[in-house]
Chain A
Amino acid sequence: MKLNRKARLFAMTVAASTAACSSINADSKDVSGNAMSEVSVAIADAMRAGQNQPARTIQFGDQTYPALAALGPVPVPPDNPMSDEKVELGKILFFDGRLGGDGSTSCASCHVPSMGWDWPDDVSLGYPGTIHWRNSQTIINSAYYDKLFWAGSSKSLEAQARSAAKGGVAGNGENDIMEARLALIPEYRQRFKDVFGDNWPKISNAWMAIAAYERTLVQRDTPLDNYLNGDENALTGEQLEGKELFEGKAGCVQCHNGALASDQKYYNIGVAPLERWEEDALAQITFRYELYAKGSTEEMYRKTKADPGVYFRGKLPAMKGKFRTPSLRYIKYTAPYMHNGSVETLEDVIDFYNKGGITRAGTTTAFPQTKSELIRPLGLTREEKQQLLAFLDAFSGEKMKTKRPTLPPYEPLFSEQELQEARK
C-alpha cells in the first residue's frame, strides 16, 4: 500500500516535470483495443496566445496526446545564455579527450559526428579497458529533452556532460585533474576568460560551454517540420499514410508525441536483455559494475540479468526495466536502436512493435510484470509497415556534419627563468 502510494507520487513527479505534455501517465491507463483503429485529430478551439499555429492534440481512444509538431526554437536555460564565443569553446571541448581520465576519451569518442553523433554498435565504446552497458544516444536535438540519459538521471545538458566525463566506464575523469589541465592550455585560459570572466578555467564552466555547443546541434528542417509548417508537398503519399498509422493503428503517438516525438516518460516496452551480456566477459564486468555502483540490494546484485533502467532512481519494483522514450528525430543515422542497441534496423524496430514487444528471436523483457500495456500486437500489414518506415524517414533531414576543431596545445605555465628566480 505504501509502495503504491510512493509509486503514484513518483509517476506524478515524472508527469509534472514533462513540459508540453498532458499529465496523463499513459502507463497506468487502460487503453481499449477499439481505440487503436479509431482516431481523430482534434484542433483545439482556442488559439494559443502569441502563436500562429493552433494548439493541436491527438485523440487516441479516450486519451489526448500532444500532436507531432514542428520543432521550435531551442530552449536555453537562463543560467547559461548562448554566445558565439561560448559555443566555439564548447565545440573544442567536446572534441578534447583531456576532459577525461587518461586524455584519450572525449565526448566525440562515443558521440561520433560522422556516425549519427552516437556510437554505431549495440553498447557504447566506453573508457579504455572497459565497454559501456547502454547504447549511446545521438546528441542531435538533445537540447530539447528535460531529462538526459536512458534513465533520465541528468536534468540538464550541463549535468549530463559532467556525468559522462566522470563515469568509470565513460570518461573516468575527476574534477581536479580536468580543471588543472585546462589551466595549462593557454588558449583555454584566454577563451574561458573571454566567455566566463574568470582568471582560471573552471571545470563547471566547461560543462556550460559544451552544453551551449550542443544547443546548436539542432535539426529543425526535416520533411516533417516542413510539412507541419505548411509545406504540403514535404511528405510523400506513402509517408502521409504512415503518419496516419503512427497516430492511429500503430499507436506510436501514445509515447512519441509532441515536437520532440518523445513524451519523456518511462516505459518498459519489452526490449530483451542484450545477448552480449551472455558472451562477452567485459560486458559482464560492466553489467555487474553498474548494478553495484548504482545501488542495489544484495539480492538484486546477485540475481539481476537485465538492465533495470529507471529503477535505480526510485528503487520501486514498478520501475524495473523502464527507460525514457527517446526522440525519433535523426534516427535515420543512429542505428542500432533501443537502450541496449539490441535492435539493429528501423525495420526491426517496427517488427518488434508489431509483434507486441517481442524481438525477432522471440525474446522479450526480463521484467514482464512492468511491461507497458500499450505494447501489444498491432496487426500491421507488410504495406503498412513500409508506410510507417517511410514516415519515420521524415523525422531526419540532411546528415549533420562538422569539422573537427584543432585542439589547443599545452604550454608550461612558468618559464625556466621564473622558476629560477622563485624565492625559497
Chain B
Amino acid sequence: MRIRQSKQRPWLVAGVMAAAFTAAGLQAAEDNSRQLPPLKTDPAKAELGKRLFFDKRLSGDTALSCASCHQPESGYSYPEALSPGYPGSGHFRNSPTLINTVYKDQWFHDGRLGTNLNDVTREMITEDYLMNMDMRLMQERIKQDPVYVQMFKDAGYGEPSNGSVRKAIPEYLKTLTSRNVPFDNGTLSAAAKRGQTLFEGKAGCNQCHTGPLFSDSEAHNTGVAENFDIFLDPQRHQSFIAFNMFMGNENYMNLKRDVGAHVQSHKADGSDIGKFMTPTLRELKYSAPYMHNGTLQTLQEVVSFYNGGGGEDSNKSPLIRPLGLSVKEQRDLVSFLEALSGDPLNTPDYVWQADDYSYQVIENWQSARN
C-alpha cells in the first residue's frame, strides 16, 4: 500500500513546488522538513558501544568487528562493491553507511528488519555469513575483559550481557550523525543550488529521496544491473543461497538475481522482485561505491544511470525514465549530492583507538562468582 502511494506521488506536483520555493527565494537551510532532528545520547552507554563496535571478539572466530565492514574512513561503509562477509563465506551486498542509520525505521537493502537497531545488531552479530557469533559465548568473552566489566557498570547495565551489548551498540550509532553539512548550514555553492533545483524538479530525485534522510523508506526497482561477482565467486554465492533458503524464497538454487525486498513482501506475482530500499543520500561523499550491490563507482555514474532512465528490468518502476539532463546539469546535481555530506566521523570521538582488547584471568576463580 505504501509502495503504491509512492508510485502515485505526482512528480509534476513536486516539480511545481520546487519551482515555487525557488521563486520565493527560499534557501535549503530554511526547509525544516529536511533537517535531522537532534538526538540525546547517553555518553557512558555510547562509549561502551564504541568499544564494542571495534572489537573483533564479537565475531565467532574473532576475525571481524562491526567496523571491518563499516569502516570510519569510508563513511562507515565498505570501500568495495561487496563487503567481505565472514571468513569462509562472502557477502553479496554493499555495506550501507551507518551514519544517520539511527533515524531509519527499516534496515538492510531489502528492508527485512523494521523493528529497531537492537534487532539489527543481533542479526549482524549472529548471522552465519556476517559475524557468526553465538551470543552466549560473546557474553562470556565480554565478561572476561575487566575494561568491559567497568564500562558496563558505569553505563548502568550492571554486569556484561548479550542483551546490553545490543543496547550499547545502537547508543553508539546515535552518535554517528551528520556534522557540518553544507546543505544543513545553508552554505550551498551556486552549482549545488542549481543541483537542488534539478533534484526537486526536472530530475525528479525527490520522488523517492524525500525527508531529512532523503529517503522515503520504501522499496523501488530502478533496474540496477546484477553484480555477477555474487554468482561467480562460490563463497559469495553460497551466502546468497543460504540467505535465500533461510528467507523462504522459492527456487533459490536457480536464482540469478538478487530478489531484494521480495523477502519482506513475498508477492505471488513476483512484481516486488528486484526492489530495494531507497538509501539515504547523506554522506554519499564517503560511501562509494553505490547501489545495493556496489555496481556504480561514482556519483557521476549514479546520476548518469538515472539520466539514462535506469537499467533494464521487467519490474522497473515507472518513476525511472530518461531525464534529458545536460552534462552541466548532471554536474550540478552531483554538486548538490556532495553538499549532503558533512565532516568525516573518523576522530577519536567516534573511533575506539586503544588496542586494549584482552582477556584477564580471574585469579580467585574458585571463590569468585561466575
| A interface, CB within 8 angstroms of B | 97-98, 100-104, 127-130, 168-169, 172-174, 176-177, 179-181, 183-185, 200, 277-282, 284-289, 291-293, 301-305, 410-414, 416, 418-419, 422-424
Contact = CB atoms under 8 A, between A and B. Distances in A.
Interface stretch (B10-18, B21-29, B139-147, B297-305): B139-147
Top 4 A-B pairs, shortest CB-CB distance: A103-B88, A168-B134, A129-B62, A281-B359
Contact of B134 (A172, A278, A291): A172
B60 A101 contact: yes
Contacts of A177: 89, 128-129, 238-239, 242
B93 to A, nearest CB: 16
Contacts of B362: 281, 284
Contacts of B245: 176, 179-180
Contacts of A302: 369-370
B128 A183 contact: no
B7 interface: no
Contacts, number: 158
A199 B136 CA distance: 36
Most chain-B Cβ atoms within 10 A of its Cβ — which of A279, A411, A413?
A413
A211 B243 CA distance: 28
Contact of B231 (A127, A304, A410, A419): A419
B144 A285 contact: yes
25 contacts: A97-B88, A102-B60, A102-B63, A102-B88, A103-B88, A103-B89, A104-B61, A168-B136, A168-B137, A172-B134, A173-B128, A176-B245, A177-B242, A287-B370, A289-B134, A292-B136, A292-B139, A293-B136, A303-B369, A410-B234, A411-B234, A416-B228, A419-B228, A424-B274, A424-B313
Contact of A289 (B89, B137, B232, B235): B137
B87 interface: yes
Task: Label chain B's interface by main secondary structure.
Answer: loop
Nearest to A283: B361
A100 B256 CA distance: 26
Interface in B320-370: 359-362, 365-366, 369-370
B215 interface: no
Contacts of B88: 97-98, 100-104
A7 B359 CA distance: 40
Contacts of B137: 130, 168-169, 285, 289, 293
Nearest to B359: A281
Contact of A291 (B238, B253, B366, B370): B370
Given A168-B60, A172-B60, A292-B139, 4 more contacts: A180-B241, A185-B234, A285-B359, A305-B365
B231 A128 contact: no
Nearest to B135: A168
A280 B235 CA distance: 35
Interface in B159-216: none
B226 interface: yes
A97 B235 CA distance: 14
Contacts of B360: 281
B242 A284 contact: no
B257 interface: yes
B87 A176 contact: no
A289 B359 CA distance: 15
Nearest to A200: B253
B361 A284 contact: yes
